[in-house]
């Protein structure tokens, strides 16, 4: 069953402003997009959303599927009326791929950040789901956040690291575990050539979770997609490389204009 996603809306209310929807990573809440909704809301109507099981969104019992998460996002988009520009990072990027395959006419452009068409072998994700149901998200927060920023940024920004660990720890145990199960079963590789939306793919050069090779594989398979590799950049490249990501999304939205499907 579709759930109504918690979200915040920033930026101009006039109908002429492009709408940009942002969906994020496993263990995050919508504040991971603060560098984007702060800077981009001058020009765009920015809608940042919590995936189900995350932040302020409902937490139905798991397991979830990427398809179900995509249904939730389609519900959010439908409530907005017209088609939107969609950007997703990591698990959010998998959900965004699924939205693009299922409902291309709902999108004007697609930006995929630090994500994958398949997140490796299923078993480690099932093991993580078991661990989180047993010991809670707090037990894995430090190791998860170790992948979010390069060591150099983490060393220079201890308050960012602390805030990020709190974000992961605050994520519902069931929501997190059920999303791990969605990731374990996710394989969007065969669908990539069917994505008919203008697509930009962004990788972090030092991302140990979804490295440049995973993003290159997406860019190679999606017709006409462009790839940008940001250095330095780990898993949350939208934070570490906020200015570059904002500039890339802005020009991608401008280039995609109002006719995103081919
Ligand atoms: O938590 C991780 O290991 C990295 C990650 C993979 C999918 C996601 O959303 O985060």
Give residue-wise pLDDT tens across range 30-73.
Answer: 999 999 999 999 999 999 999 999 999 999 999 999 999 999 99
What pLDDT does 259 receive?
52
Q: What is the largest CA-CA distance in the chain?
A: 48
State which ligand 1 atom lies nearest to the alpha carbon of 115.
7
Angstrom CA distances, 215 to 12, 40, 82, 142, 262, stand at 32, 24, 29, 25, 21
What pLDDT does 248 receive?
98
Our answer on whether the CB atom of 148 is closer than 6 Å to any ligand 1 atom is no
Residue count of the chain, please give it.
262
Our answer on whether the CB atom of 54 is closer than 6 Å to any ligand 1 atom is no
Our answer on whether the CB atom of 94 is closer than 6 Å to any ligand 1 atom is no
Our answer on whether the CB atom of 176 is closer than 6 Å to any ligand 1 atom is no
What pLDDT does 81 receive?
84
CA of 116 to the centre of ligand 1 (A): 10
- Please answer whether residues 219 and 114 qualify as being in contact, where contact means their C-beta atoms are separated by less than 8 angstroms: no
ipTM above 0.95, yes or no: yes
* Tokens linked to 250: 């802005």
The distance of Cα 166 from the centroid of its chain, to the nearest Å, equals 19
State which ligand 1 atom lies nearest to the alpha carbon of 235.
4
C-alpha–C-alpha distance, residues 171 and 118, integer Å: 23
What pLDDT does 15 receive?
76
Least trusted range by pLDDT, from 64-73, 78-87, 126-135, 225-234: 78-87
What pLDDT does 260 receive?
45
How confident is the model over 11-28, as pLDDT tens digits? Answer: 998 878 999 999 999 999
- 134, with CB counted inside 10 A (0-12, 13-18, 19+), is exposed
Please choose, from the candidates 215, 30, 224, the residue with its C-alpha nearest in 3D space to the C-alpha of residue 113. Answer: 215
How confident is the model over 138-176, as pLDDT tens digits? Answer: 999 999 999 999 999 999 999 999 999 999 999 999 999
How confident is the model over 73-89, as pLDDT tens digits? Answer: 999 999 988 899 999 99
Please choose, from the candidates 157, 113, 148, 156, the residue with its C-alpha nearest in 3D space to the C-alpha of residue 245. Answer: 113
CA of 99 to the centre of ligand 1 (A): 19
Our answer on whether the CB atom of 128 is closer than 6 Å to any ligand 1 atom is no
Pairing between strand 7-10 and 45-49? Answer: antiparallel
Our answer on whether the CB atom of 197 is closer than 6 Å to any ligand 1 atom is no
CA of 258 to the centre of ligand 1 (A): 32
Please choose, from the candidates 128, 147, 146, 148, the residue with its C-alpha nearest in 3D space to the C-alpha of residue 136. Answer: 128
Please choose, from the candidates 206, 172, 164, 156, the residue with its C-alpha nearest in 3D space to the C-alpha of residue 61. Answer: 172
C-alpha–C-alpha distance, residues 243 and 245, integer Å: 6
What pLDDT does 80 receive?
86
Domains of the chain (ranges; CATH) run: 7-121+187-258 (3.40.50.1820)
The percent of residues above 90 in pLDDT, for the chain, comes to: 95
C-alpha–C-alpha distance, residues 23 and 130, integer Å: 25
Angstrom CA distances, 175 to 87, 168, 199, stand at 21, 11, 29
pLDDT of residue 262 exceeding 70, the answer is no
* Tokens linked to 166: 């709190």
C-alpha–C-alpha distance, residues 18 and 82, integer Å: 10
What residues have CB less than 8 Å from 34, skipping those under 6 apart? none
Our answer on whether the CB atom of 183 is closer than 6 Å to any ligand 1 atom is yes
């Amino acid at each position: 069953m579709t759930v109504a996603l918690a979200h915040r809306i920033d930026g101009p209310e006039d109908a002429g402003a492009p709408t940009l929807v942002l969906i994020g990573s496993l263990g995050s809440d919508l504040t991971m997009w603060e560098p984007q909704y702060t800077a981009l809301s001058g020009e765009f109507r920015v809608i940042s959303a919590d995936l189900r099981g995350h932040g302020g969104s409902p937490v139905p019992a798991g397991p979830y599927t990427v398809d179900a998460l995509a249904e939730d996002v389609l519900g959010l988009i439908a409530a907005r009326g017209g088609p939107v520009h969609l950007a997703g990072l990591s698990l959010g990027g998998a959900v965004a791929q699924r939205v693009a395959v299922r409902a291309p006419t709902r999108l004007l452009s697609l930006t995929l950040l630090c994500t994958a068409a398949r997140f490796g072998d299923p078993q480690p994700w099932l093991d993580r789901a078991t661990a989180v149901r047993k010991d809670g998200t707090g037990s894995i927060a430090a190791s998860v956040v170790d992948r979010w920023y390069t060591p150099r940024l983490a060393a220079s920004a201890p308050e960012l690291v602390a805030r990020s660990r709190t974000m992961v720890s605050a994520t519902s145990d069931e929501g997190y575990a059920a999303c791990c199960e969605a990731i374990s079963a996710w394989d969007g590789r065969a669908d990539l050539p069917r994505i008919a939306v203008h697509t930009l793919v962004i990788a972090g050069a030092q991302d140990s979770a979804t490295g440049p090779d995973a993003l290159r594989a997406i860019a190679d398979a999606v017709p006409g997609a462009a790839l940008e590799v940001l250095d330095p950049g780990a898993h949350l490249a939208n934070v570490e490389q906020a200015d570059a990501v904002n500039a890339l999304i802005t020009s991608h939205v401008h280039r995609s204009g109002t006719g995103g499907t081919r």
